[in-house]
Amino acid sequence: MSRTIEQTLHIRARPETVWRFFTDPACLAQWWGTAELDARPGGTLQVAMHEGPRPVMRGRFVELVPYERLVFTFGWEATPGAPDMAPEASRVEVTLTPDGDGTELTLRHSGLPAVLDEETSDGWAHLLHRLGETAERQELR
């Protein structure tokens, strides 16, 4: 049985700024991990995490609507300490909505094995907090 988690965060940065933190490897590396990506439908996404056992997330972009929505597949390379979810096995949808002084970011991660529900939810909460702080600092420059 698969699970879906959803998290929403207000970021005091424009959607255009937040978008770059998902589609530009240098920006993505500031909050998630060292990235190699091709931000177009069918393009690859690979992120080597900065923390923990340094697992590598592998997926593929499915949909990109600039400054509004992006969808990518998500999973982990089989390495010691990595969660047990094959590359591209789940799906992440990110929606960016202008909201007052910034952006409301909503993330839905579906297709999760039940055993990874809490770990994934906690991981996204941590990462999205870092994304918010990083994007807000960028917006102030």
Residue type, 53: P
Taking the CA atoms of residue 123, residue 125, residue 126 and residue 127 in that order, the dihedral angle to the nearest 10 degrees is: 80
CB 37 within 8 A of CB 21: no
In the structure encoding, which two tokens stand for residue 42, read together? 């069918």
Sequential pLDDT tens for the chain (141 residues):
689 999 999 999 999 999 999 999 999 999 999 999 999 999 999 999 877 667 899 999 999 999 999 999 999 999 888 888 999 999 999 999 999 999 999 999 999 998 998 999 999 999 999 999 999 998 876
pLDDT score at 127: 95
Q: How far apart are CA 32 and CA 127, in angstroms?
A: 6
